[in-house]
Structures are given as structure tokens and as C-alpha cells.
Amino acid sequence: MHNVISLEKVSFRFPEDELPVFEKVDLNVSAGERIVITGPSGCGKSSLLYLLNRLYPENCDGIVSGKVELFKKAAAEYAPGEINQRIATVFQDPDSQFCMQTVEEELAFTLENVKVPVGKIDERITRVLQETGLEDFRHSVIQTLSGGQKQRVATACAWVLEPEVLLLDEPLTHLDPVTAKEFVAWLRELHQTRDLTVIAIDHQVELWDGFFDREWQMAPAKVSSRIVKREPVHAGKIALSAKALAVSPILSPISFSLHQGEIAVLAGPNGSGKSTLLKALCGLKSTGGSVEPKRIGYVPQSPEFLFLTKSVRDELAFGGGDQVDEMIERLYLKPVSEAHPFAVSHGQKRRVAIGAMLCDGRPVIVMDEPTAGQDAAALTELENLIKARANEGVTFLIVTHDMNFAHRTAETLLLLKNGQLSGQFKPSAVWQNAQLLNAHRLCAPSGGVRFASPHESFG
């Protein structure tokens, strides 16, 4: 097969940095090949992808050395935007690529940008909505959709271009487990029906069920390729709602309570209202319930919305916490401690926001998809920190689609569907109940050791 992408001794550096993001990369990608890029947060995976779609270096004044060829033509010879029909991208944060109000308008805008004749636009939109299972969302306002639904819309916007190469930056991050499996199956079918090349970044390769031909493992300032075969108890109780909590029209009246120091996971299908519930608890959505938002720390799905300072260190110290150095060390933020929080990777941004809340002394912390973009080491340390803070009496309510994380950490599983709370369960009871799992588009965890909580014991 002929090469569609060829990198030879390629290095990349931001102009304000002394050290390169990565250096001396040699990479050849054949037409129809499926490659996953893995490696620690901040090692340059997204930057490498952005060289391939020509977003970098022009849009960041980045400095590139070495040889970059796309479809056997020097990358620098392409006019701005010329390559983006042949190489389409789905970004990690889907909000960053939307320009229009509705799904239909966004798809039309995408096609207009590549000069598709007006008479063919409606036909292309109808076809891609059918192929991606988004027919019912054609006239939906994008900003009313869940994170997972937005990710599917972003993928549709890439696919409507009929690209030869599809670049995916952690596309499963905001998808519930069943939707993630359906996404992979859909992508596999597309790959079989046309000569599509897929390059994806993902920390959870096992979710792809053998989809990839090769795995590239990346480290800071270098990249190498190899083919991979595939404690004390605190008494008390914290009531997150004394009265019924209702956020109209998304949520029905909801009531639940958590013990002080309890770790609870909130799970359910995309669009079920999980993020809305967290925002309501923090006073960011109108609610008929009784909450104390000032006592709740909030880590949103897009953590950069919280940033107020010019460095990672200052961000963690903003709330007056006295454990900043320890938090920087434990969350693997030392290499970027003086960097602007907007300039670090998506996984690092999440850890900055989490660290700021953990330093802030709030008795209750709610997190929206904190595991997204985290490599194995960072995820393990995050789990250890959550456990340690819970033992000190901090209560956690965490939205996640990662049932392995839920299995290792959660004492309570709250299941949400269609804006209604299905119930408050012991995780083990859910893992053994196929009906509950199917109804909430979840998969039982594949394994992993979890810790005994202050509120339960394991025999």
C-alpha cells in the first residue's frame, strides 16, 4: 500500500518554549491503515495530530524541522484549508469546532466551506445523519446536547467531507460504554466499505476491541513505534438535597443523600442529564431543590472555564490551599507548573482543575468526566487522591462512563436515565444485573482491584 502520511526526523516546538514537544519522529502511514497513538498526557500526541491536518504550525507560529509529506506532497506546499477535506479531524473538545447553532446548520457550513454545490448539500447531510444515527438531531441546537451527543455531531461533521484520512483525538471520551462500542463498530464498517485511514489518540485501547493495526507509544520529546498484540472513618451524613431537586425540563424531581466521605459515581446514557444535575447542585442551573453551592467544588467537563490565573501553580493556589506543592507533584503537573493553564494538554487541564478543588478545602466535590485524557499513572494517582480525601471526610459525586474506574473507587452508583434517577445502588449489584446495565447503556467492568471504603467491608 502507498503512504498517505510520511514524517522523517520531525521535531516540533512552540516559539516560547526552549524544549521541543517531540523530536526526530519517523512515521509512515499506509492507505487504509488503522493506528492508535498512546502515551502520557502532555507528551505531544495532539500536537502531532495537528501537524497532520496542517492546523500546526501556521496557527500557533510553531517551529517544525524535518520532513512532513501528506499524500506524497510536502505539507508546506498545501494552501490553507486545502488538506482538510482529505484529512478530517474530530477534536477532543467538540465545542471547539462548532460555529453554527443547529446540527443541520453546522453540517451545511462544513460543506459550504469546501465548496460543495448547493444542490448537493441537503442530500449529503441526510446521508451522513443516517450513517451516524443522528437523524433525530437534525434540527437540535448543538449547545443543548450532551457531551457525548456533541462528539457524535463532531464526527458527523468530519465524515460528511468524505475524507481519505480520519484523525480522532480521544473520540470515546464522552460516550457511554454502549455508544462507544457502537461507534467502534460503525467505524469498523466504514473502514471495510472504503479505503479509510484512521489515526486515533486514546488511552483506553481495550475499548476498541482489536480495531487497530498498530499502536504508537509516545513519550515527551521522542516517539517510538511498536506493534502491540492485542483507613480512619469520619461519621456523619451530607444531604445533597433535602428537598426534591428538579431542573426543568431536563430533570424530573430527584432526591438522594450521601454520607460524609462517601464516593459516589453518577452514570447513565448520553443525554440523560448527568452534567445538568451536577450544574444544578452547584447553583449553575435553576433548581427547585435545596443546595449549598458555595460548599461544593465543581470540576466541569471543559475545565478551562474555571481558569482565572496565568500559571498552573497559581491556579492551584487560588483558593488559598496550603498543599499546592504536594498536589503538583502527585498529579504529575511539575513539568508544567509555571505554564499557562490554557497551554497544557487536555488531560493536564483536567488535573489542574481537580487539583485546585482538592486544595480548596470544600467538603463536597463534584466532577464531570475527570478520567478523560488521563494516562494510567495519572489515573492511578487521581484514584489514590480521591480515596485519601474521602478518608478525610470529603464527599465525591463523579460523573463517568468509565466503569473500571467506578468499580475501583465507587461505594455508591447513582443511575440516571431520561432525566430520572433510577436508583441508588451498590456497584456490585449493578455489575450483576444485565437488565440495569442494558437499560442505562453501561458495560460491566473488565476488572481491576478496588479499595475497601470506610462504609463497607469485603469478605
Give the mean pLDDT of the chain.
84
- Mean pLDDT score, 92-107: 89
> What is the β-pairing status of strands 34-38 and 214-219?
parallel
Cell numbers standing for residue 444: 460491566
Query: What local confidence, expressed as pLDDT, does residue 65 receive?
Result: 93
How far is 213 from 198, CA to CA, in rounded Å? 10
In the listed set 217, 247, 274, which residue is the last one of a domain according to the structure? 217
335 in a structural domain = yes
Query: What local confidence, expressed as pLDDT, does residue 40 receive?
Result: 82
In the listed set 217, 252, 275, which residue is the last one of a domain according to the structure? 217
449 in a structural domain = no
411 in a structural domain = yes
Query: What local confidence, expressed as pLDDT, does residue 52 receive?
Result: 93
Query: What local confidence, expressed as pLDDT, does residue 240 receive?
Result: 58
232 in a structural domain = no
Short-list 416, 372, 378, 147, CA closest to 264: 416
Query: What local confidence, expressed as pLDDT, does residue 292 receive?
Result: 57
The answer on pLDDT for 243 being more than 60 is: no
Whether residues 206 and 275 share a domain: the answer is no
- Phi, psi angle pair for 397, to nearest 5°: -125, 115
Whether residues 250 and 105 share a domain: the answer is no
Whether residues 181 and 56 share a domain: the answer is yes
The answer on pLDDT for 54 being more than 70 is: yes
In the listed set 217, 252, 274, which residue is the last one of a domain according to the structure? 217
Cross-strand partners of 36: 200, 215
CB burial readout 152-173, b (16+ within 10 A) else e: bbbbbbbbbbbbbbbbbbbbbb
Query: What local confidence, expressed as pLDDT, does residue 289 receive?
Result: 52
Cβ neighbors of 443 (< 8 A, separation 6 or more) are 177, 178, 181, 403, 437
Whether residues 246 and 180 share a domain: the answer is no
Q: How confident is the model at residue 229 (pLDDT cuts 50, 70, 90)?
A: very low
How far is 348 from 315, CA to CA, in rounded Å? 12
- Mean pLDDT score, 392-414: 94
Is 307 or 291 the better-scoring residue by pLDDT? Answer: 307
Expressed as residue numbers, the domain containing 306 is 238-440
Whether residues 70 and 128 share a domain: the answer is yes
Q: How confident is the model at residue 248 (pLDDT cuts 50, 70, 90)?
A: low
- 346-359 and 376-391 helices, crossing angle to 10°: 10
Q: How confident is the model at residue 459 (pLDDT cuts 50, 70, 90)?
A: very low
Query: Residue 16 sits in a domain of what CATH number?
Result: 3.40.50.300
pLDDT digits (tens, 9 = 90+) for 443-455: 999 854 333 344 4
274 in a structural domain = yes
Q: Express as a percent the part of the chain with pLDDT over 70.
A: 88
152 in a structural domain = yes
How far is 154 from 89, CA to CA, in rounded Å? 9
Whether residues 89 and 169 share a domain: the answer is yes
Q: Which range is most confident: 15-19, 157-161, 175-179, 264-268?
A: 264-268
Whether residues 213 and 255 share a domain: the answer is no
Helix (H) or strand (E) holding 338: none
Cell numbers standing for residue 317: 493556589
Whether residues 251 and 154 share a domain: the answer is no
Whether residues 252 and 132 share a domain: the answer is no
Q: How confident is the model at residue 236 (pLDDT cuts 50, 70, 90)?
A: low
Whether residues 208 and 322 share a domain: the answer is no
183 in a structural domain = yes
453 in a structural domain = no
Cβ neighbors of 125 (< 8 A, separation 6 or more) are 104, 107, 108, 111, 138, 160
Whether residues 139 and 272 share a domain: the answer is no
In this structure, of 170-174, 231-235, 298-302, 355-359, the range with the lowest mean pLDDT score is: 231-235
- Which amino acid is present at 68? V
Whether residues 190 and 99 share a domain: the answer is yes
Domain count, the chain: 2
